[in-house]
Amino acid sequence: MIEDRPTHLAAALRRRGYPLSSWPWRALAYAATSLAVAGPLAVGLFVVATPLLAVVSAARQGRPVVVPVVAFLTVVALLVLALAPLASGPVAAVERWRLGLVDGRPLPGPRAAGLAARYTGAAAWRETAYLCFLAAVVPAGYGMFALLALVDVALLAGPWLAGGGERIVLLAATVDTPRQAVPYALVALLLVPLLWYAAGLLVAGQAAVARWLLGGATEEVALREVTRSRARLVDAYEAERRRIERDVHDGAQPRLTSLTLQLGMARLDVPDDAPAAQPLAAAHEQAKELMVLLRQIVRGIRPPHLTELGLAGAVRELATRATVPVTVHSDLPQPVPELAETTAYYVVSESLANVARHAGATRAQVRLTQAGRTLLVEIEDDGRGGADPARGTGLAGLADRVGAVDGRLLLASPVGGPTLVRVELPCRR
């Protein structure tokens, strides 16, 4: 199955057809459900924080503070802080599920752990941080946007509101006739598309924070950079290329040269008007072209599918030949440089081979995206996980290949899965 559509809201915002796509409505659904989750959290935070702020304000102004009240509020605050890691788990599970509204990329959470891990694990405290973000920042952000939207609606309704003979205030001006309110309504009408995009940016920002904080940060799930010597791969590649060139030069090329000479001599013995003259001449030319082509292949080994179909098409060819179902998501608005394209192709090829041989997976995904001047390649499977570069699963070789072009290979493969291989390749022109 092949998809060339954006997989998340931030990528969709860069497309020209965003306002008319389904993404704005998905963003609206995410915002509405965000308020349903963040609203009760904000109320709870307000109930706890307001008395504490009042006590602190009274103490700063020198007014008397009742010690039992301070002690009670302190106990309540500590109790809320103690319960926050426990409450953040269910909320984080709901948020990972909701994130699918605006981000189709998988977001694996940490593995189930005991009660102690809720207070000692980094992932639990990241979930707690996101709980605080939902309670404090999200309502404030949506409140500011709602205020801007209400102002825009008021400006749009200005010509009708000013028709009753009463003076109304629009921004910093006072109008008393519909004609005076029309310019403000026109400006408000022009701002509607900007608000439509602003809403998407607001939701995309929240989704980015959710992915950052809820993606897990434990030692088993965190992405680990796999680094190896770049010089070793470059030297090995050059040595292999020279060996192949030498073998071709000493083995295949003399045979082709001999064949070309024999065809040339045969052409001299055959009259130009003979029936075999034209086929013989064509064979002679093809033999000479084959020699040139063979030299080009040796000096620039490159899969033919890349030249014919480009990176996305070549990866699709790999997906069709894979032993497990592979879904390809491609979002490449610009052509990819040849070096990065070739490296990405071999990364996907080797990764899918590893999935088939070692993962025990039932499906896999390949995502090709561009972020500025960086090509991002992600290969994910639902297999058993536990991939380790030290055990010779081909990851060390991939890291060498990626490192040779100043790229990075990162791996997340907790025991039990899923496994995610992420490659970042610079796109230098």
User: Is residue 225 domain-resident?
Assistant: no
Note whether 277 and 346 are same-domain residues.
Answer: no
Note whether 309 and 337 are same-domain residues.
Answer: yes
Note whether 271 and 352 are same-domain residues.
Answer: no
Domain hosting residue 37, numbered range: 12-214
What is the C-alpha radius of gyration for the chain, rounded to an integer number of angstroms?
32
Q: What is the mean pLDDT of residues 45-53?
A: 69
In tens, the pLDDT along 129-161 reads 888 888 888 888 898 998 888 888 888 877 777
Q: Which two tokens stand for residue 275?
A: 């029936």
Residue 382 is part of a domain; what is its CATH number?
Answer: 3.30.565.10
Note whether 25 and 100 are same-domain residues.
Answer: yes
Note whether 181 and 82 are same-domain residues.
Answer: yes
User: Is residue 53 domain-resident?
Assistant: yes
User: Is residue 1 domain-resident?
Assistant: no
299, 324, 347 - which closes a domain: 299
Note whether 167 and 249 are same-domain residues.
Answer: no
User: Is residue 228 domain-resident?
Assistant: no
Cα atoms in the Cβ-side hemisphere of radius 13 Å centred on 401: 20
Note whether 342 and 207 are same-domain residues.
Answer: no
Note whether 49 and 166 are same-domain residues.
Answer: yes
User: Is residue 169 domain-resident?
Assistant: yes
Task: Tell me what pLDDT residue 362 has.
Answer: 86
Label residue 368 by pLDDT band (50, 70, 90). very high
Q: pLDDT at residue 29 above 70? A: yes
User: Is residue 5 domain-resident?
Assistant: no
Computed over every residue of the chain, the mean pLDDT equals 77
User: Is residue 254 domain-resident?
Assistant: yes
299, 317, 333 - which closes a domain: 299
Q: pLDDT at residue 410 above 80? A: yes
Number of domains in the chain: 3
In tens, the pLDDT along 159-193 reads 777 765 566 666 666 776 777 777 877 888 888 88
- Residue scoring higher pLDDT (367 or 78): 367
Percent of the chain with pLDDT over 70: 72
- Residue scoring higher pLDDT (178 or 384): 384
User: Is residue 222 domain-resident?
Assistant: no
Note whether 43 and 88 are same-domain residues.
Answer: yes
185, 214, 243 - which closes a domain: 214
Note whether 120 and 239 are same-domain residues.
Answer: no
Task: Tell me what pLDDT residue 384 has.
Answer: 81
Highest mean pLDDT among 122-131, 239-248, 252-261, 269-278 belongs to 122-131
Task: Tell me what pLDDT residue 341 has.
Answer: 85
Q: Which two tokens stand for residue 292?
A: 């040139």
Note whether 129 and 28 are same-domain residues.
Answer: yes
Q: pLDDT at residue 408 above 70? A: yes
Label residue 366 by pLDDT band (50, 70, 90). very high
Q: What is the mean pLDDT of residues 101-107?
A: 80
166 C-beta neighbours (distance < 10 Å), count? 8
Note whether 309 and 396 are same-domain residues.
Answer: yes
